[in-house]
Structure 1
Amino acid sequence: MEPFIPTLQVTAEVKNPFDGVSPDIAPLGSGFDNALTVILGVIWGLVLIYVSVKLLTSFVKFSGARKQGHYEEMGEHTDELKRRGVAVIAVAAFGVLIGAVLKVAGML
């Protein structure tokens, strides 16, 4: 007697249940959409103010070290200044970046 060896044969094609689905908050109502837009705009504005203030403080530290002749500290402050400058540019360009990603993804 031969041993029983179970085999699995898949003949049906698996369909993607999320085909044609895209994120949409419209069913939650226009009030929710407006509130969400305002909240995200406020958060984005606060982050932009925060990174701008940090950039200015880095510039002040760099200028102070330069005026006092602390050249060893200038290197540290230069790196900090560059990082915070890139952060300001990234936060300011955030809307454009997200729009480009959504456009490439075909959601706009």
Structure 2
Amino acid sequence: HGLVPIVEPEILPDGDHDLQRCQYVTEKVLAAVYKALNDHHVYLEGTLLKPNMVTAGHSCTKKYTPQDVAIATVTTLLRTVPAAVPGICFLSGGQSEEEASLNLNAMN
């Protein structure tokens, strides 16, 4: 039918959580999402993932570099996303255009 399901779990950037907490929660959420998709026999090769980047909460006092965000995000994805998933598109998660671009560049 030409439709592609886009799986879009998002950890909101509201709050004062640090990078490690966001990584932990994102890993738990993605693991649960892919378990549910597997339990329902979803054809993962026909889906896309649209997750949040792993970032600290907007009210977190510690500031992280784009490299910190990249390492946390890529590590999370490698730990939780099945190899069958053909593509990942990121949400900006309330980041500015510049901040999101710097984080994406660090992941590349």
| TM-score calculated relative to the size of structure 2 | 0.29
The structure whose residues are more often helix, as a share, is 1
Higher-RCO chain (CA-CA 8 Å, sequence separation at least 6): 2
Higher CA-based Rg: 1
